Amino acid sequence: MNINILSPINQLGYGIAGLNIVRGLSSLADLALWPIGQPDCPNEEKYTDPLRKSIQNAVMPDFSAPCIKIWHQHDMSQFVGRGEHIGFPIFELNKFNEIETHHLKSLDRIFVCSEWAKDIVTKEIGIKTHVIPLGVDRAIFPDTATESSKTIFLNVGKWEIRKGHDVLVEAFSKAFESSDDVELWMMCDNPFYSKEENEEWESLYKNSKLGSKIRIIPRQQSQKEVYNIMAQCDCGVFPARAEGWNLELLEMMSCGKQVIATNYSAHSEFCNEKNCHLIEVDELEDAYDGKWFRGQGEWANLGEPQIEQLISHMQKVHSTKSLNTEGIKTATRFSWENTAKEIINAIST
């Protein structure tokens, strides 16, 4: 089978998905790859060999082969060849705007990460849609026990209201006292913010009641470096209002760490009451942050009941630290190899 792919190849969300999908598909199909932007991948054969071969294949592509574009839903106009045009957007909201709808309706079919996303596409767009869950590389993110008596909570994800960073600092300050042996690590540098905007978020945390127990960690350059941070922590805490997938949440599960997350949006594809401390959501609200989202759709409303649940979960994790065996089982199922197989199965139907 021949497949044409357009995707970023880098260390951001879309880029990590594209990198691992190309690697996984390379043993199942003949790929031709057109990177979106400048490629940036680890200097390892398991990545560089498939990428080099796929980019070389783009010189003489099969123009009748299906073409998959792993990219934003508002930019689905450029494809390669006359085969099926398949969009693979990773989106966070439950409604599409006029431009997104226009682009998505031009496609022959759509791939999405979760049943949550499929329901939205089915309702809003009405085009044949397949669920293709993303994955985690357990060779990079193996389960690792921590030895310290201190409980370290970790959040990974660029500074945003959408990711619940405004409520996490409040919950941490209410959950613990200065005498408690806890820390909160925030690896949240946002490359799309100005220096001043990033510093404003950092100041919110450092100037909080437990600011001395909060560590701001710079963006890491590779997934192995991300793992080195995760391995030192006990719990990933992700009170997001909405997520398109949340790679870091699944990576924390793969490391055997306890996780806390809202029971809403795409990560509900792999989060359940066995492998995650769930924050139950009662209602949705207009998605508005004055920066990236301006009321186009809806996301989870994080009110006092949700903050209280977050506080309770953090306190429970601190008092009963343990390996997340169910999370490890989940990570084993959600592999990049499985992602590649699901793509082949979907194209074949």
Instruction: Set out the domains of the chain in order of their start, with CATH numbers.
Output: 2-135+336-348 (3.40.50.11930), 151-333 (3.40.50.2000)
Indicate yes or no: pTM above 0.75. yes
Q: Which amino acid is at 202?
A: E
Looking at residue 4, what is its pLDDT?
A: 98
- Written as one string, the DSSP assignment of 59-106 is TS--TTS-EEE-S-TT------SSS-EEE-----SS---HHHHHHHTT
Residues 133 and 338 sit within 8 Å (Cβ to Cβ): yes
- pLDDT for 295 equals 87
Contact between residue 151 and residue 235 where contact means Cβ atoms under 8 Å apart: yes
Assess contact for 150 and 227: CB atoms under 8 A: no
Check residue 15 and give its pLDDT.
96
So what's the pLDDT on residue 145?
85
Is residue 104 within 8 Å of 125, Cβ to Cβ? yes
Q: What is the structure's pLDDT at 9?
A: 96
Contacts of residue 315, Cβ cutoff 8 Å, sequence gap at least 6: 175, 176
Q: What 3-state DSSP class applies to 169?
A: helix
Q: What is the pLDDT of residue 19?
A: 96
pLDDT in tens, the chain (349 residues): 999 999 999 998 999 999 999 999 999 999 999 999 999 988 889 999 999 999 999 999 999 999 999 999 999 999 999 999 999 999 999 999 999 999 999 999 999 999 999 999 999 999 999 999 999 999 999 998 887 889 999 999 999 999 999 999 999 999 999 999 999 999 999 998 999 999 999 999 999 999 999 999 999 988 999 999 999 999 999 999 999 999 999 999 999 999 999 999 999 999 999 999 999 999 999 999 999 899 889 999 999 999 999 999 999 999 998 999 999 999 999 999 999 999 999 999 8
Q: Which helix (H) or strand (E) holds 300?
A: strand 294-300
How deeply is 165 buried, as exposed, middle or buried, from its count of CB atoms within 10 A (0-12, 13-18, 19+)? buried
| Phi/psi of residue 19, nearest 5 degrees | -60, -50
Q: What sections of the chain are H helices per DSSP?
A: 13-25, 45-57, 98-104, 115-124, 165-175, 195-206, 223-230, 247-254, 304-319, 325-333, 336-348
